[in-house]
Structures are given as structure tokens and as C-alpha cells.
């Protein structure tokens, strides 16, 4: 296993990031923090697949929808564990729980509910035919509202609670970080990977009118932390068109250059260089065989779903309280 090079499969690059998918970017940083050389593959055939991101090497594969996600699988399977010194420390556990719940929910809410569809269209659906992308977009909005328990009657209350929790989480993380290089201890952990992925998408993919973006910009040390680690761990490459399946070698955490934006944080370019055409892998062949059935099957299933949805109302689901999450005072 140690001699085999890993491949990380994500959604395509956009907004100057290797990927702007909130599930994918933390895995990218986790591997970067571990200084593991890996290849980065992008595909957009199944943008709504809960298997993405995934990591593979020869016969090994760790999917996002298995055993708590890719990072947890990599730890459990002995591939790489950045948390060995931290996962029994209550303060670290509490901070990771905040990021994994409160900030994840806040970013999902901003991307799918509070903002227009330009960001998610670019992240997920820009390579799909317009009717399919639009149908999948509205399908995902319904899924997000169901997950967050949003109805017409409680929408305002849920929004207030989401932003309240995000503010508490940013404040706690800012206090914990201080002037240090990492959120806990003297080296990065999965906590840093999760938050760095979150903060970069909030700062670079959300519109200027975003409430969440304005909240994180209130904490200058979190913004500086994001700038510093991003400049160190994101590979820089020229802006270029990216095919549905493309591959770029990701080096062992080499520093990359960055250019300043007027907003005060950096905009990094990390799209892959064009490479000579290579023989398709078995995995790619399988995806391409499935692709011919994708458009028709998705269209039929979504139309059936929407027709059933139109005849029923979603009952109110209370947004869960603070159960299971402790935050820093």
C-alpha cells in the first residue's frame, strides 16, 4: 500500500480552487497535510453522487459515503492518521464537532438556499445539459431543506439559528487559534483540513452579499490562517479548460504563488495543465459506459420524484438543538 500512489477523485476545479465541493476540498488538504504524493482526478458525470470524493489505489478505494467519509476511512484503514495525538482530547473533539455540524450546515445553507444558483451551478452542474442541471439543482434544494428541517413556517427561525451558530463557531475557533499556525497543537490535523476547506469556499465561492462570508471576514486571524495555509498547500497552475476526466499530479505540499484580490484575501489558480491523452483506466471505462444511460435515467427519476413531491407537503422537522456538540466559551 505504501508503494502505490493514491488518486483523489473530486469535482472539477473552479473559483481558483482545486475543487470547490465542500466534501472534496477537506480531503485534498488532509492528504496535503500528510505530505502524501497523490494524483487528482476530476469528473462531472455524476455530480450528485454521494460517493464523491473518493480515494483509490490499485484495488483499494475509500468512498465518501462509507464509514464516516474518506478521511475517517483513511485513518481506520491505516493509510494516514493526522489525529492520533488529538482524538481523545475533549477540546479538539468539541471544535471538530462544531466545524462538522454547525459550519457544514451554514455553508450548505448559503450555497443552496441563501445564494443564487451561480455558485453551485459552477461547482456541480456546468458540464451537464441545462434541463438536467436545473432539475438536479431543484432536487438538491429540496434535499437540503429536508436535512435542515426548513418549511415555510419556520424558515426565518432556522436561518437565524444557522447564522447564530456560525458566529459562535467562528468566535470559538478564532479564540483557540490566536496567533498560532494551526487550530490545535503544533501540526495540522483533520480539524484544520475541515475548516480550511470551509473557509476557502466561504471566501472565494460565495457572493459578496453572503452573510456567512461577512461573518468570517470579521475574524482577521482566521482569514490570515486561510491565506497562509492555502498559499503553502495549493498547487498553482495556469487557468485552463478542464475536461470531464483529467488528471494532474499533486506534489508533496510544495508552496505556490498567490496574487492578492482587492478584498484582502488571495485568489489561487489550481486548474490542471493539459496532458497527453492516456489510455483509459477500467474505472473510467465503467463511468463512460454508465454515462450513456445517465441523462435519460436521471430525467425520468427526477420527473417522477417531482410529480410525487407536488402531491405532498413536507412536514415540519425541528432543527436539532445543541445535542452532542459542545462549543468553547
- 10-residue mean pLDDT profile of the chain (329 residues): values are 80 94 97 95 81 93 92 95 94 97 98 92 90 91 96 97 98 98 96 98 96 97 98 69 38 37 39 41 55 56 58 47 47
Contact 327, 94 (CB under 8 A): yes
Number of other residues whose CB lies within 10 A of the CB of residue 246: 19
Closest CA to 19 of 39, 27, 219: 27
Contact 113, 152 (CB under 8 A): no
- 166: its cell numbers: 456560525
19, 93, 116, 204, 214 from 207: Cα distances, Å:
17, 31, 9, 8, 10
CA 191 to CA 75: how far, in whole Å? 14
- 75: its cell numbers: 485513518
Residue located via cell numbers 480515494: 55
Amino acid at each position: 500500500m505504501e508503494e502505490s500512489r493514491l488518486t483523489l477523485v473530486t469535482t472539477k476545479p473552479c473559483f481558483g480552487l482545486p475543487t470547490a465541493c465542500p466534501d472534496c476540498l477537506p480531503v485534498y488538504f488532509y492528504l496535503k497535510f500528510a505530505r502524501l504524493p497523490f494524483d487528482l482526478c476530476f469528473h462531472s458525470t455524476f455530480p450528485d453522487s454521494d460517493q464523491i470524493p473518493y480515494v483509490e489505489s490499485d484495488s483499494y478505494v475509500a468512498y465518501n459515503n462509507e464509514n464516516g467519509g474518506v478521511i475517517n476511512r483513511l485513518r481506520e484503514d491505516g493509510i494516514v492518521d493526522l489525529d492520533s495525538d488529538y482524538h481523545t482530547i475533549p477540546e479538539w473533539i468539541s471544535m471538530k464537532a462544531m466545524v462538522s455540524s454547525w459550519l457544514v450546515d451554514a455553508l450548505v445553507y448559503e450555497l443552496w438556499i441563501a445564494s443564487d444558483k451561480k455558485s453551485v451551478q459552477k461547482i456541480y452542474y456546468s458540464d451537464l445539459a441545462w434541463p438536467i442541471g436545473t432539475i438536479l439543482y431543484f432536487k438538491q434544494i429540496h434535499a437540503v431543506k429536508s436535512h435542515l428541517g426548513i418549511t415555510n413556517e419556520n424558515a426565518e427561525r432556522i436561518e437565524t439559528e444557522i447564522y447564530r451558530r456560525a458566529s459562535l463557531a467562528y468566535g470559538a475557533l478564532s479564540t483557540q487559534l490566536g496567533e498560532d499556525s494551526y487550530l490545535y497543537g503544533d501540526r495540522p490535523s483533520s480539524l484544520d483540513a475541515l475548516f480550511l476547506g470551509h473557509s476557502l469556499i466561504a471566501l472565494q465561492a460565495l457572493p459578496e452579499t453572503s452573510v456567512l462570508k461577512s461573518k468570517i471576514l470579521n475574524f482577521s486571524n482566521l482569514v490570515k490562517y486561510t491565506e497562509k495555509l492555502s498559499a503553502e498547500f495549493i498547487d498553482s497552475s495556469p487557468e485552463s479548460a478542464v475536461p470531464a476526466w483529467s488528471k494532474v499530479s499533486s506534489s508533496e505540499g510544495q508552496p505556490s504563488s498567490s496574487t492578492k484580490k482587492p478584498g484582502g484575501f488571495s485568489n489561487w489558480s489550481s486548474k490542471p495543465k493539459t496532458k497527453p491523452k492516456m489510455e483509459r483506466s477500467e474505472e473510467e471505462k465503467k463511468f463512460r459506459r454508465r454515462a450513456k444511460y445517465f441523462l435519460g435515467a436521471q430525467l425520468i427519476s427526477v420527473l417522477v420524484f417531482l410529480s410525487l413531491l407536488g402531491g405532498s407537503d413536507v412536514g415540519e422537522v425541528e432543527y436539532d438543538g445543541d445535542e452532542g456538540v459542545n462549543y468553547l466559551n
